[in-house]
Amino acid sequence: MSQSLIRNFCIIAHIDHGKSTLADRLLELTGALSAREMMEQVLDSMDLERERGITIKAHTVTLTYCAKDGKTYTLNLIDTPGHVDFSYEVSRSLAACEGALLVVDAAQGVEAQTLANAYLAAEQGLELIPVLNKVDLPQAEPERVREQIEQVIGIEARDALLISAKTGLGVPAVLEAIVARIPPPSGDPDAPLRALIFDAAYDPYRGVRCLVRVVDGALQVGQKIRLASSGLEAEVEGLGVLTPRPLPKHALSTGEVGYVFAGLKELRQVRVGDTVLDAQNPAPALPGFREIKPMVFAGLYPVDSGDYPLLRDALEKLSLNDAAFTFTPDNSHALGFGFRCGFLGLLHMEIVQERLEREFGVELITTAPNVAYRVLTTAGEVVEVENPAQLPSPGNIEVIEEPVILATIFTPETYVGAILKLCEERRGEQVKLEFLGGGRVLVEYRLPLAEVVLDFYDKLKSCSRGYASFDYQLAGYRQGDLVKLDILVNGEPVDALATIVHRSQAYYKGRALAEKLREMIPRQLFEVVIQAAIGSRVIAREVVKPLRKNVLAKCYGGDITRKRKLLERQKEGKKRMKRLGRVDIPQEAFLAVLKVES
Amino acid sequence: MEALRREVALLGRLGGRPLRTLYLGGGTPSLVPGPELLSLFAVLDAYFPRIAGAEVTLEANPDDVTSERIVLWQRLGINRVSLGVQSFCDGILGLLSRRHSAQQAEDALQSLLQAGFVVSADLMLGLPGLSVALLKESLKVLRRLFPHHVSVYLLEMDKPHRLALLAERHAGLFPSEEDLARQYLYTTRFLRLAGYEHYEVSNWARPGFQAQHNLRYWRGGVVLACGVGAYGQGQRSRWANSSDLDEYMRLVAAGQLPRVSRTQLTKEAARAERVMLGLRLSRGVMWEEVEALAAMRPDFWRLLHDFLAAGLARRCGGRVRLTPRGWLVSNELFATLV
């Protein structure tokens, strides 16, 4: 296929700005799927993706388009994940494209996610085509949004396309613009093979399926290949394009996008961002590859300790098609045997938990999420601490560093005050405050990731009535005055409740956490004493008074059936508790730290 | 009433037997007119003769107690009356929408005692506005009249009645858990000093006057039952009559027993139930009986030891029993038995 007839592009949009709907229209217009075959929003194939309206994994679809110039083009739409947790994958998907449709809601304007991804795309030299969606809505203000795009993102938006993906208005012009404005792929067909892996998924029948963009040379069935980062060699068993149904081919040539099976059985053998090379004639790898590391950690324990093997199997199966999360066996005094799991971010964590419960039927107790700290010990060692309970004792710590992020927040002017206050409370350092006109403000803050993982997003939404949008990128580590806050129940430290906090907040948080736990732990036969402590110093003490009354006064003849039901309900309630010595602790208590206001 | 008589006759034809106890209750049997009661007893006597000294109890509202009825009840062989006093305080009776006044309750109790009935009086704890001081007044009246038997109930909110709705909206009007526990323990001490034995969670009796019928139920004896929504029990089974009046009448008219459900308990479940009911009694249960549950119900076993450690249960003379404080939180333990 002639390279000049290929266009590789993606769609950048904020959540709900119409990315999936536009993708559906493009599929429909090019006849990839008839309207009847279309299930709404074909590209989001996981149930969870459809329910939450977010894309978790990258997808791709190859469209055939007859342009007005009479030529037939191959358009490869590469759908990128839409969440900050997956920004590395986004960057790799973008690297497979020459251009991007920048879809902005003509009523709402530019949001943080649009901005972050547009910057990423611009950095990689992609041609951006601004598309104003939902122009059919009465509250649409295309002129204002056009100006905003120019001012905030800094790209020419005079010839932005005005469309309504919902009604199909203006969508044919989008196809023409893709052909006319996005450059064809520029690779060298005669050079040795270099193909970028921008997604990998596990297929139970054929093993690992990689999505690749051939940058130089060609990829053929039967070819011996090598993965640049690991040196792993394999043979191409099958390849093809997705239309979106798989269409097997013999080769993928320079500039093409498609899938490859190479007999690999484990997803962990393949890394997104890696380069596929010809084993016989390996070229240098493509730039930009990075090991992705989990940033957020939490303990996952089965509610019923007998479910431990079930949880282990479920985690192993899940990791077959999610190489980004990690799990290592963990043993908590409080919660028994479970796993310490690492995630890319909060959404990723939620997704994994939800899939474990939904797809594998494992009931879970989750500890509050925390970030990984870097500790320099007095012995001169550097230790990564993923579990607060394992923080070395204060005497052995020279320095603790915590991960920080650069947060980008877009908000209407009205809420700037509240947002700055929130960021300051969260130990933030202001980087930028820019009034963009039209009542919009861009706020940039450097924030400790730990202050963001718990409830920052919710708080941001509530202090801006849902109008502020937020995105972030990791910005290294920063030294902090951090201490471990222990929680003791009847004198025994509960490892699963330990947290690492900034010294300035320790007293407040300790008191608030002890108080919250007092509210959450039901009265028991014995008095329950809850203490918060830093090292050996107790900073807060709360008492759950012993239970005084739980009795059926009347128990005669026929009553027993009804009474049994009442007792059974109580028993069910007990089942959802974890027993710590003589104290029953409800599952929610392990997330109590989330409920403590800063 | 006609259907009830038919049911008694049906049951009798299937196997009449002499009765040790007979209990007329659930609803307000004291309202039933003389002739109806007479004909019910005629059928009962035909199939279920009472052995000498049998306990025959009738539930009565204080305002139904008249000299005529007293004569009638005595003629029928009723020898025990369970009187729904609830409180000797008019304010609280009004709150409960009772038809009787405190004075009426006192008079009724007095006349029943004078007529020679064994009398049981019911009181209620946990009512809005009921303080320990007010409770003391009611208990003093009891001590003065000195009925043979007293039942004191804590108001239960699991039924959707008027007070439950009130409690949802104005929880502050009701005594706190602490206050309620205090009232219950106060009652326990007061009645013990007055000469009563606390023999079940909610029941007190002068020596020799425990409710034989209820003890039978608590000890797992056979209890036959007739009427709409009545429950009966055998050694390891339980059954229920239809609680739908139309269905009940239809089944009886068709010559069938109006039973709509029957449960057979496994040996283990029967044991668990026996222990649960047994621990509601002051004499408790044999230690072997709870030991036999240790393997099957480990939660129960562990919690029972917590009860013992906290002084909520006592082991004595090869038996284990709950203390009044233990009874107050007994559902914690019993929930591990269902």
* Token digits of residue A523: 């009265």
Look over chain A and give the mean of its residue pLDDT values, rounded to a whole number. 86
Disruptive mutation site among A525, A528, A551, A554 for chain B (greatest number of B CBs within 10 Å): A551
pLDDT mean over B258-263? 89
Q: Does B332 touch chain A (CB under 8 A)?
A: yes
pLDDT in tens, A140-160: 999 999 988 888 888 888 889
pLDDT in tens, B278-324: 999 999 999 999 999 988 888 899 999 999 988 899 998 889 999 99
- CA-nearest of A272, A364, A265, A261 to A312 is A364
CA of A477 vs chain B CAs: smallest distance (Å): 48
* Token digits of residue A326: 């990690």
The Cα–Cα gap between A124 and A286 comes to 13
Look over chain B and give the mean of its residue pLDDT values, rounded to a whole number. 90
Of B217, B247, B276, which closes a domain? Answer: B217
Residue A157 Cα distances to A95, A121, A140, A154, angstroms: 23, 16, 16, 9
B114 pLDDT more than 60: yes
Question: Cβ of B335 and A549 within 8 Å?
Answer: no
B159 and B29 in a common domain: yes
- CA-nearest of A48, A186, A36 to A126 is A186
Please tell me what DSSP assigns to residue B336: T
Question: Cβ of A552 and B331 within 8 Å?
Answer: yes
B244 and B139 in a common domain: no
pLDDT in tens, B23-40: 998 878 899 999 999 999
Q: Does B184 touch chain A (CB under 8 A)?
A: yes
Q: Choose the most confident range, by mean pLDDT, from A15-19, A309-313, B260-264.
A: A309-313
pLDDT mean over A259-265? 92
The model's pTM is 0.68
Q: Choose the most confident range, by mean pLDDT, from A324-338, A458-472, B137-151.
A: B137-151
Strands ordered across the beta sheet of B319-322: B285-286, B319-322, B313-316
Q: Determine the residue type at A42.
A: V
Q: Across the interface, which of B154, B229, B231 has its CB nearest the CB of A551?
A: B154
Cis peptide before A244 (omega within 30 of 0): yes
pLDDT at position A41 is 46
pLDDT at position A47 is 55
Residue B210 Cα distances to A185, A441, B56, angstroms: 97, 80, 13
B44 and B156 in a common domain: yes
pLDDT in tens, A91-123: 888 999 999 999 999 998 888 778 778 888 888
The Cα–Cα gap between A299 and A366 comes to 6
Q: Across the interface, which of B26, B231, B332 has its CB nearest the CB of A547?
A: B332
B248 and B209 in a common domain: no
For residue A356, the SS3 value is helix
B 288-327 → A contacts, CB under 8 A:
299, 303, 306-307, 310, 312, 327
Q: Beta-carbon neighbour count of residue B287 at 10 Å?
A: 14
Contact B72, B93 (CB under 8 A): no
B 59-98 → A contacts, CB under 8 A:
none
Q: What is the helix (H) or strand (E) element at residue A111, kind and residue range? A: none
Query: What range does the domain containing B281 cover?
Result: 267-337
Alpha helices (runs of H) in A126-246, residue ranges in sequence order: 142-148, 171-181
pLDDT in tens, A161-177: 999 999 999 999 999 99
CA of A497 vs chain B CAs: smallest distance (Å): 25
Question: Cβ of B238 and A561 within 8 Å?
Answer: yes
User: Which residues partner with A207 through β-bridges?
Assistant: A203
pLDDT mean over A251-271? 91
The Cα–Cα gap between B73 and A523 comes to 48
Disruptive mutation site among B22, B123, B153, B156 for chain A (greatest number of A CBs within 10 Å): B156
The Cα–Cα gap between A74 and A27 comes to 12
Of B217, B250, B283, which closes a domain? Answer: B217
Percent of chain A with pLDDT over 70: 93
CATH number for the domain that contains residue B213: 3.20.20.70
Q: Does A543 touch chain B (CB under 8 A)?
A: no
Q: Does A180 touch chain B (CB under 8 A)?
A: no
CA of B210 vs chain A CAs: smallest distance (Å): 14
Question: Cβ of A556 and B158 within 8 Å?
Answer: no
Q: Across the interface, which of B229, B312, B336 has its CB nearest the CB of A525?
A: B312
B177 and B100 in a common domain: yes
3-state helix, strand, coil in chain B (%, to 5): 50, 20, 30
Q: Beta-carbon neighbour count of residue B157 at 10 Å?
A: 15
Contacts of B307 in chain A (CB under 8 A): 525
| Domains held by chain B: number | 3
- ipTM of the modeled complex: 0.83
* Token digits of residue A234: 């394999």
B206 and B143 in a common domain: yes
A593 pLDDT more than 90: no
CA of A548 vs chain B CAs: smallest distance (Å): 6
The Cα–Cα gap between A193 and A172 comes to 35
Q: In degrees rounded to 5, what are phi and psi of residue A335? A: -110, 0
Q: Across the interface, which of A526, A554, A570 has its CB nearest the CB of B331?
A: A570
Q: Which residue of A has its CA nearest to B332?
A: A550
pLDDT mean over A431-444? 86
Contacts of B312 in chain A (CB under 8 A): 525
Of B217, B239, B255, which closes a domain? Answer: B217
H helices, E strands: number in chain B: 15, 13
pLDDT at position A266 is 83
CA of A576 vs chain B CAs: smallest distance (Å): 14
pLDDT at position B281 is 95
Contacts of A582 in chain B (CB under 8 A): 306
Q: Does B158 touch chain A (CB under 8 A)?
A: yes
CA of A528 vs chain B CAs: smallest distance (Å): 13
B276 and B226 in a common domain: no
A44 pLDDT more than 70: no
pLDDT in tens, A216-245: 999 999 999 999 988 999 999 999 998 888
Q: Lowest-confidence range among A39-53, A366-380, A567-581?
A: A39-53
A48 pLDDT more than 70: no
The Cα–Cα gap between B158 and B268 comes to 28
pLDDT in tens, A289-309: 777 778 889 999 988 888 899
DSSP one-letter string for B60-118: E-GGG--HHHHHHHHHHT--EEEEEEE-S-HHHHHHTT-S--HHHHHHHHHHHHHTT-E
Q: Does A574 touch chain B (CB under 8 A)?
A: yes
pLDDT at position A410 is 86
CA of A564 vs chain B CAs: smallest distance (Å): 7
User: Which residues partner with A411 through β-bridges?
Assistant: A441
The Cα–Cα gap between B316 and B320 comes to 6
Question: Cβ of A549 and B332 within 8 Å?
Answer: no
pLDDT mean over A260-278? 89
B284 and B244 in a common domain: no
B245 and B153 in a common domain: no
pLDDT at position A36 is 47
Question: Cβ of A551 and B153 within 8 Å?
Answer: no
User: Which residues partner with A211 through β-bridges?
Assistant: A199, A259
B120 and B52 in a common domain: yes
A597 pLDDT more than 70: no
The Cα–Cα gap between A487 and A483 comes to 13
Please tell me what DSSP assigns to residue B36: H
Q: Determine the residue type at A482.
A: L
Q: Across the interface, which of B156, B307, B335 has its CB nearest the CB of A553?
A: B156
Please tell me what DSSP assigns to residue B281: B
pLDDT in tens, B62-108: 999 999 999 999 999 999 999 999 899 898 888 777 889 999 999 99
pLDDT in tens, B207-221: 999 999 999 988 888
Angle of helix A19-29 relative to helix A171-181, nearest 10 degrees, comes to: 80
A508 pLDDT more than 50: yes
CB pairs under 8 A between A and B: 98
B226 and B201 in a common domain: no
pLDDT at position A160 is 92
Contact A481, A505 (CB under 8 A): no
The Cα–Cα gap between B203 and B188 comes to 10
B171 and B104 in a common domain: yes
Strands B80-86 and A364-366: unpaired
Question: Cβ of A556 and B154 within 8 Å?
Answer: no
The Cα–Cα gap between A297 and A368 comes to 9
Percent of chain B with pLDDT over 70: 98
3-state helix, strand, coil in chain A (%, to 5): 30, 35, 35
Q: Does A1 touch chain B (CB under 8 A)?
A: no
pLDDT at position A38 is 52
The Cα–Cα gap between A387 and A366 comes to 13
CATH number for the domain that contains residue B310: 1.10.10
Question: Cβ of A548 and B338 within 8 Å?
Answer: no
Q: Does A557 touch chain B (CB under 8 A)?
A: yes
